[in-house]
A and B are shown apart, each in its own frame.
Chain A
Amino acid sequence: MSVIIDDNSKVLVQGITGYQGTYHTKAMKEFGTKVVAGVTPGKQGQRVDDVPVFDSVADAVDATGADTSCIFVPAPFTKDAVFEAVEAGIGTIVAVTEHVPVHDAIRFVAVTRSRDVTLIGPNCPGLASPGRAKVGILPNKIFMSGEVGVVSRSGTLTYEIVNAMTEAGIGQSTCVGIGGDRVAGTNFVDVLELFQNDPATKRIVMVGEIGGTAEEEAAEFIKASVTKPVVAYIAGRTAPPGKRMGHAGAIIARGRGTAESKMRALEAAGVRVAKLPTDVPELLRT
Chain B
Amino acid sequence: MKLFEYKAKELMKKYGVPVPDGFVVSSPDEIEKIPGPVMVKAQVLIGGRGKAGGIKPAESVEEARAVASKILGMDIKGYTAKQVLVEERVDIERELYIGMTIDRSTRSLLIMASPDGGMDIESVPEDRILMAPVDPFTGYQPYMGRRVAAFTGLKGDQAKQVGAICQSLYDLVVAEDAELVEINPLVVTKQGRLVASDGKLTIDSDALFRHRDHSQLEEDLTPLEAKAKELDIAFVQLDGNIGVIANGAGLTMATLDSLNMFGGKAGVFLDLGGTDDPEKVKDAMLLMNEAEPKVILLNIFGGITKCDTVAKGVLEAIEEKGITVPIVARIKGVNEEHAREMLRDAGMIPASGLSEAAELAAEESLR
Does chain B have a CB within 8 A of A239? yes
B257 touches A110 (CB 8 A): no
Docked Cα-Cα span, A11 to B354, in Å, equals 34
Is the beta-carbon distance between A103 and B207 smaller than 8 angstroms? yes
User: Contacts A75-B206, A159-B303, A246-B234; is A106 near B249 (CB within 8 Å)?
Assistant: no
Asked whether A1 is an interface residue with its Cβ less than 8 Å from the other chain, the reply is: no
Q: Which of A219-266 contact B (CB under 8 A)?
A: 233, 235-240, 243-250, 254-255
Contacts of B210 in A (CB 8 A): 76, 101
Check if B308 is an interface residue, CB within 8 A of chain A.
Answer: no
Cβ-defined contact, A163 with B332, below 8 A? yes
Q: What are the interface flags for A194-235 relative to B under an 8 Å C-beta threshold, 1 for contact and 0 otherwise?
A: 000000000000010110111001000000000000000101
**What A residues does B301 contact at CB under 8 A?**
156, 159-160, 163
A2-10, A34-42, A51-59, A274-282 - the one binding chain B? A274-282
Report the minimal beta-carbon distance from A258 to chain B, rounded to whole angstroms: 12
A246 touches B177 (CB 8 A): no
| Interface members, chain A 61-104 (any B CB < 8 Å) | 75-76, 98-104
Cβ contacts B119-146/A at 8 Å (1 or 0 each): 0011000000000000111000000000
**Shortest distance from the beta carbon of B173 to any chain A beta carbon, whole Å:** 8
List, in ascending order, chain A residues with CB within 8 A of B122's CB.
254-255
| A98-B250 contact given A76-B210, A217-B105, A278-B353, CB 8 Å threshold | no
Beta-carbon nearest neighbor of A217 in chain B: B105
Q: How far is the CB of B10 from chain A (nearest CB, A)?
A: 21
Interface presence of A154 (CB below 8 A): yes
Distance, CA A183 to CA B259, complexed state (A):
30
CB-nearest residue of chain A to B302: A139
Residue of A nearest to B105 (CB): A213
Cβ of B261 and Cβ of A101 under 8 Å apart? Answer: no
- Identify which of A109, A235, A244 contacts B107 (C-beta below 8 A): A109
In the complex, are the beta carbons of B177 and A141 less than 8 A apart? no
Q: Mark A129-155, 1 if CB is under 8 A from B, else 0.
A: 000000001110100000000001111
* B325 contacts partner chain A, Cβ-Cβ < 8 Å: no
Residues of B within 8 A of A21 (CB): none
Decide yes or no whether B37 CB sits under 8 A from chain A: no
Query: Which residues from chain A contact B256 at a C-beta distance below 8 Å?
Result: 236, 238-239
Interface size counted on chain A using CB atoms at 8 A: 66
- Using known A-B contacts A106-B108, A107-B136, A277-B354, determine if residue A157 contacts B248 with beta carbons closer than 8 Å: yes
Q: Which residues of B contact A113 (CB under 8 A)?
A: 107
Contacts A106-B109, A183-B102, A276-B261 hold; do A156 and B248 have CB atoms under 8 A apart?
A: yes
Give the chain B neighbours of A100 by CB distance below 8 A: 206
* B207 in contact with A101 (CB, 8 Å): yes
Q: A125 in the interface, Cβ–Cβ < 8 Å?
A: yes
For A183, list chain B residues within 8 Å (CB). Answer: 102, 104, 107
The residue that B274 contacts in the complex, of A103, A125, A235, A249, with Cβ under 8 A, is A125
Structural contact, B234 and A244, CB atoms closer than 8 A: yes
Quick one: given A237-B257, A276-B355, are A154 and B249 in contact (CB under 8 Å)?
yes
Residue total for B at the interface (Cβ-Cβ under 8 A): 51
Asked if A101 contacts B249 (CB within 8 A), the reply is: no
| Residue A180 interfacial (CB < 8 Å) | yes
Contact A139 B206 (CB under 8 A): no
* A236 and B261 contacting across the interface, CB-CB below 8 Å: no
Contact between A160 and B104 (Cβ–Cβ < 8 Å)?
A: no
Inter-chain contact A110/B107, CB cutoff 8 Å:
yes
**A177 smallest CB distance to B (angstroms):** 10
A122 to chain B, nearest CB (A): 10
Please tell me if the beta carbons of B248 and A155 are within 8 angstroms of each other in the complex.
yes
Contact B234 A247 (CB under 8 A): yes
Candidates A125, A160, A246; contact of B249 at CB < 8 Å? A246
Interface: A25 (CB within 8 A): no
Check B136 against A153 for contact (C-beta < 8 Å). Answer: no
A158: interface (CB < 8 Å): yes
The answer to whether A180 touches B260 (Cβ under 8 A) is no
CA distance A163 to B303 in the complex (A): 12
Residue with the highest number of chain A CB atoms closer than 10 Å, among B209, B250, B273, B303: B250
Minimum Cβ distance to chain B for residue A70 (Å): 15
Is A235 touching B257 in the complex (CB atoms < 8 A)?
yes
Which residues of A lie under 8 Å from residue B135 when comparing CB positions?
A: 110
Chain A: which residue is nearest B260 at the CB level?
A238
Q: Does A29 touch B at the CB level, under 8 Å?
A: no
Q: Give the distance to chain B from A38, nearest Cβ to Cβ, in Å.
A: 19
A155 shortest CB reach to chain B, Å: 4
Tell me if A275 and B261 are in contact (CB < 8 A).
Answer: yes
Closest-by-CB residue of B relative to A233 is B254
Q: Which residues from chain B contact A43 at a C-beta distance below 8 Å?
A: none
* Chain A contacts for B241, CB-based, 8 A: none
Which A residues are CB-close (under 8 A) to B238?
A: 240, 243
Which residue on B lies nearest to A104, using beta carbons? B207
Which of chain B's residues has its CB closest to A242's CB?
A: B47
Digit string of B169-191 for contact with A (CB within 8 Å is 1, else 0)? Answer: 00000100101000000000000
What are 5 contact pairs spanning A and B, CB under 8 A? A76-B209, A110-B136, A163-B301, A233-B254, A275-B261
For the complex with contacts A101-B206, A106-B102, A233-B254, 18 further pairs of A-B residues with Cβ separation under 8 Å are A98-B273, A103-B174, A106-B107, A156-B248, A156-B303, A183-B102, A209-B253, A210-B253, A235-B254, A237-B260, A238-B256, A238-B259, A240-B238, A244-B236, A246-B236, A247-B271, A276-B257, A276-B354
User: Closest 10 CB pairs between A and B?
Assistant: A154-B250, A246-B249, A157-B250, A156-B248, A101-B207, A235-B253, A246-B271, A110-B136, A156-B251, A236-B253
